Amino acid sequence: MTGLNFVGFPTVPANPPTWDAFLAPSPELQTVTPEIFQYPGGELGPNNPAKVLPFLFRSVPVQRGQAFWIRAGAVFNHYFGPFEVVVNGNGLQFNGTLSAASLRLRNLAEHSTGLNFGSRRLPAGVGTWPKDKPVPVMLRPLASEILAFDVLTQNPDRLRDNPNLLWSGEDVFPCDHEQAFSFLAGVIAWQPPWTGQGIAFYRNHVFYQQLTGLAHNWDRLGGALDALTDSRMNEYLAVVPNEWKTDNAANRIADYLRDARQNREALFAVINRLLQ
């Protein structure tokens, strides 16, 4: 027994982190692969609590208010988030002799790799894309490119109930791509999207219903793929931090993008059939 948590973790209600990201600041939970069980509600049974399989750590969110069990070998798990409360003595118990006590918040994020990636700083006034918001006519070309980009990058996490989009007036900004290149998760019998396999899922995309039956132009996305030359790809690979070079993921993504560039016409044909 290495830790019980029946009240959930202090994550943000909207777009909470995945288990991979949430556990990163805990050095104890990096030395072993923790066993995580979540209680979705209902009667307890053989499969309830349900186990979160390790290959899903990068895609399953840590939902606020949900009960979890975590076991990590012989390690006692006292990790509940990227900070902890530290008090002197046995707690804040005042009596006839104690006149002062200290309470400190300790930042645990210093134990992480310390490397993050940001692509663009957005101006003030940007908000989240509302659920079921109609796509303005002027934004349809951009919306179709975003859907095609998600098919290309195998990103399943831009749904009607969780758009992962920011917007302001005539601008839309896709965000939250930690589930992109989902083939890295070891999906059984995975096939690249230009084969037409596994595409039906994108009917759940936030923009799908509003883009069907329309004509679409993929020239800009095709040009972006053409600009992703082998030499440019090698430049990107050369600056990937060593901390991110796990499971040969960067090279696998680069190989996938090279194949996508070579098969872009087949990819666009598949997307056109999806949006018929």
Over the stretch 169-195, which tens digit does the pLDDT of each residue have? 888 999 888 889 988 887 778 899 999
Q: Please state the φ and ψ torsions of residue 180, each to the nearest 5 degrees.
A: -65, 160
Highest mean pLDDT among 18-27, 170-179, 207-216: 207-216
- Rounded CA-CA distance 65/109 in Å is 22
Q: What is the bridge-based pairing of β-strands 83-87 and 127-128?
A: unpaired
Q: What pLDDT score was predicted for residue 1? A: 37
Same domain, 79 and 167: no
Q: Is 90 exceeded by the pLDDT of residue 259?
A: yes
- End-to-end, the C-alpha distance of the chain in Å comes to 54
Are residues 108 and 135 located together in one domain of the fold? no
Q: Is residue 118 part of a domain?
A: no
Q: Is 186 left (phi over 0), alpha (psi -120 to 50) or beta?
A: left
User: Which segment of 37-41, 47-51, 105-109, 110-114 scores lowest on mean pLDDT?
Assistant: 110-114
What is the predicted pLDDT for the residue at 181? 92
The Cα–Cα gap between 61 and 17 comes to 6
The beta strand positions in 161-229, using DSSP E, are: 165-168, 171-174
- Where do the H-state alpha helices sit in the chain? 19-23, 140-152, 208-211, 219-227, 230-238, 249-262, 264-274
Domain total in the chain: 2
Range of the domain at 198: 127-274
pLDDT at position 111: 53
Most confident of 30-39, 97-106, 139-148, 155-164: 139-148
Do residues 89 and 146 share a domain? no
Instruction: Compute the distance between CA of residue 95 and CA of residue 37 in angstroms, rounded to an integer.
Output: 41
pLDDT at position 234: 93
Confidence of residue 2 (pLDDT cuts 50, 70, 90): very low
Residue 167 backbone zone (phi > 0: left; psi -120 to 50: alpha; other: beta): beta
Q: Assess if residue 117 is contained within a domain.
A: no
53-57, 73-77, 93-97, 169-173: least confident range: 93-97
pTM of structure: 0.62
Same domain, 132 and 59: no
In this predicted model, which residue has the larger pLDDT, 137 or 68?
137
DSSP per residue over 4-71, as a string?
EESS-----SSSPPBHHHHHTT-SGGGSS--EEEE--SSS-BTTBSEEE-GGGTTTSB--TT--EEEE
pLDDT band at 75 (very low <50, low <70, confident <90, very high): low
Q: What is the mean pLDDT of residues 123-132?
A: 84
